[in-house]
Amino acid sequence: MHNTVLATLFRPEILAMSAYHVADAHNFIKLDAMENPHGWPADIQQAWLEHLKDCPMNRYPDPEAKALSGALRESNLIPAESGLLLGNGSDEIIQILQMALPGNATVLAPEPGFVMYKQIALGLGLRYQGVPLLTEGFDLDLPAMLAAIESSKPSLIFLAYPNNPTGNLFDAEAIKTILEAAPGLVVVDEAYAPFADASFIRELPKYQNLLVMRTVSKLGLAGLRLGFLAGDSAILDQLHKVRLPYNINCLTQITAHFALTHQDFLLAQTSDIRQQRSEVMAALQTMDAVKAYPSAANFILFKTLARAADEVFISLKNQGVLIKNLSPQGGVLHNCLRVTIGKREENQAFLTALHSALQNSS
């Protein structure tokens, strides 16, 4: 279609955007997308397949996903008085939140952060404001955050906890200060909660404007596309008006409920990933040519010091290992790469390939 026709059909901000790109991981050791690398044990898989036989595929799914909601409440220790909203991944919840805002609303988030906060805000024609993190340690620049809150009066603030792509936990007291200063809603995005010993779930009854968002993706159920939001029931009642009916399909509902009620194997996998994170971090810290940053997530961000990150990324890819190149984003992420923690043998393959890539720079 001719460019002039496109220009009349679509808003300028849509034409200026780039689509979210997912790399082709076929035939690579896949360490780029923060997935749990472990499959399901054979006995669990067999019990699940038996369970699926009862799925009424000819009927619409439960629009309220009541059984699944109960399992999520129990497994995530969600306060009884808090409301709950389920989404097709965290992405849909981010979209629902922003669709409910006035057209002139401002969405605010620290940067670098999860790219979909900004992507969805721009897609909906909202005002988006990013506040740079502190260069050292990637913590919140609290004075800058408070100044941005004062000047732009954001309707919605996103705080990833731990943060993606940096992996660190923001200072909890700083988050509480932001909660008290914010005129609108504050979403604490706890996508990586399984790998961190920190959460704002218990704070929900204390702050009416606090919403906690989580996902089962990092736990090991990324293929199900299931996220959830907990917070004040009156707020979630309004968001449910925007949520499309039947947004959680019956296969996701039954499978997620099954997994959460048989979650010992998932918790064991999470524990293994945390152990592997420690081992990969220790190995990276022995390499003079990189600087690895502390992580409370299932990935590690590191900066290449002796060779351009773009070159190291390509060298790793040529050796069959796919990680995430964040250097094109610039700023504090210049020459930064992010590796997801995989199985022990995958992590070893990454470390061997990285050592080779860095050796080639000398």
CB atoms inside a 10 Å sphere around CB 103? 8
Q: What is the pLDDT along the chain (362 residues), one digit of tens a residue?
A: 667 788 888 888 888 878 777 777 788 899 999 999 999 999 999 999 999 998 999 999 999 999 999 999 999 999 999 999 999 999 999 999 999 999 899 999 999 999 999 999 999 999 999 999 999 899 999 999 999 999 999 999 999 999 999 999 999 999 999 999 999 999 999 999 999 999 999 999 999 999 999 999 999 999 999 999 999 999 999 999 999 999 999 999 999 999 999 999 999 999 999 999 999 999 999 999 999 999 999 999 999 999 999 999 999 999 999 999 999 999 999 999 999 999 999 999 999 999 999 986 54
Q: What is the pLDDT of residues 143-176, one digit of tens each?
A: 999 999 999 999 999 999 999 999 999 999 999 9
Q: What is the pTM of this model?
A: 0.94
Domains and CATH numbers, the chain: 3-41+265-359 (3.90.1150.10), 57-260 (3.40.640.10)
Q: How much of the chain is in helix, strand and coil states, percent to nearest 5?
A: 45, 15, 40
Task: For 142-174, give the secondary structure using H, E and C.
Answer: HHHHHHHHHHHCCCEEEEECCCCCCCCCCCHHH
Of 193, 197, 198, 233, which Cα lies nearest the Cα of 213?
Answer: 193
Bridge partners of residue 108, in order along the sequence: 129, 157
Six token digits for residue 206 = 């204390």
For the beta carbon of residue 212, count every other beta carbon within 10 angstroms: 24
Q: What is the DSSP string of 47-101?
A: HHHHHHTT--TTSPPPTT-HHHHHHHHHHHT--TTSEEEEESHHHHHHHHHHHTS
Q: Please give the Cα distance from 184 to 179 (Å, whole number).
A: 9
Is the bond preceding 162 in cis, omega lying within 30 degrees of 0? yes
Look-up of token digits 């919840």: 93
d(CA 171, CA 177): 10
Distances (CA, A) of 290 to 238, 293, 351: 47, 10, 12
Q: What is the DSSP letter of 340?
A: E
Is residue 33 within 8 A of residue 54, CB to CB? The reply is no
Where does residue 262 rank: exposed (0-12), middle (13-18), buried (19+ CB within 10 A)? middle
Distance CA 151, CA 172 (A): 23
Rg (CA), the chain: 21
Q: Measured between alpha carbons, how far is 10 from 235 in angstroms, rounded to an integer?
A: 32
Instruction: Tell me if 293 sits within 8 A of 300, measured CB to CB.
Output: yes
